[in-house]
Amino acid sequence: MDAFFFIDKPTGQTSFQVLRDMRKILWVKKIGHSGTLDPLATGGLLVAIGQYTKLIPYVEKDSKSYLADIMLDGSSPSYDSDSEVNYIPVLKQQESKTSITTEKLEEIFKEHFHGHILQVPPKYSALKINGKRALERVKAGEDIVMKERKAEILSYKIVSFEYPKLVVEISVSAGTYVRSIAHDLWEILGTGGYLSALRRIWVGRLDISLSTRLDDVEDSKKLDILELFPKKVFLFQDEVVLKRLSDGQRVWGEYDFPTEQDIFLFDGDVIRYVVEYKDSVLHPRKKVV
């Protein structure tokens, strides 16, 4: 099988565990996803099966949107409630309940959490340091230092706030850690900040309504490839040309294709090749199926 699935990941499972379960359900070996979700998180996990794993680079940089529950009454080493929460004193909580308002949070987000920002990823993460996940290094007792890196917050909306819980809908660039946003909010407020819940509701153009529960996965639930890549997939059924591309040959011809970008040649059943059309020549980039 060569396909994409949009899985509604349940809480408590790692993204790797979802892939492991899908291997068993669909009897496939080759499988991958376009962006890790933490065990605490739920929501959209875009999964590629078979030869379509070769197309993951074309979706892994897609923006993602989340619904985040941020608690302002403590902090944790993992920046979420999956590790022990250190609550601030009751008196400090009472003060914060009075001093932290929705208006104040709006000002903070506008100043610190909008557009291009710098953030430090959590040590408790799948981010690799010299080939080994940061989380594994922490559990092994290593003292690691996470480097600051660029991120982008595309939009945000405060859905509700009643101390200590802030609910915010936020859209971010790939690789942005919402947990770090919660942690940075804690440092700005001087009170607390950690995630108690996180749900990914969009991946690129896919919203969570298009997702499938893991226990409902079957062949009929796969995504329509034309909808997943609407500007990249083009119907192409010239077997002579496809054979030449398969042999690594460039092919001259007048085609109604966008130029100087990777496009996918679709034979009506599967995506066969990734090519670039430049100067009236099809340049083979990658054989898919």
Question: What is the reported pLDDT for 126?
Answer: 81
Does 199 lie in the same domain as 243?
Answer: no
Does 235 lie in the same domain as 140?
Answer: no
221 Cβ neighbours under 8 A, 6+ residues apart: 5, 212
Which residue range is the domain that position 51 belongs to?
Answer: 3-60+206-227
| CATH number, residue 252 | 2.30.130
Does 194 lie in the same domain as 69?
Answer: yes
Residue 256, Cβ density class (10 Å: 0-12 exposed, 13-18 middle, ≥19 buried): exposed
Enter the pTM of the model: 0.92
Does 136 lie in the same domain as 24?
Answer: no
Active site residue 219: no
8 A C-beta contact, residue 264 and residue 231: no
Does 37 lie in the same domain as 102?
Answer: no
Does 214 lie in the same domain as 253?
Answer: no
Does 269 lie in the same domain as 223?
Answer: no
Does 199 lie in the same domain as 68?
Answer: yes
Question: What is the reported pLDDT for 140?
Answer: 85
Q: Which of 8, 38, 80, 184 is catalytic?
A: 38
Question: What is the reported pLDDT for 145?
Answer: 86
Cα–Cα dist 81/83, whole Å: 5
Question: What is the reported pLDDT for 259?
Answer: 92
Domain count, the chain: 3
Does 181 lie in the same domain as 257?
Answer: no
Question: What is the reported pLDDT for 217?
Answer: 87
Does 108 lie in the same domain as 139?
Answer: yes
Does 159 lie in the same domain as 93?
Answer: yes
8 A C-beta contact, residue 198 and residue 80: yes
Does 91 lie in the same domain as 12?
Answer: no
Cα–Cα dist 262/187, whole Å: 43
| CATH number, residue 169 | 3.30.2350.10
pLDDT, averaged in runs of 10, over the chain (289 residues): 95 94 93 93 97 96 97 95 95 95 97 95 85 85 89 97 98 95 93 95 95 86 90 94 93 93 95 95 94
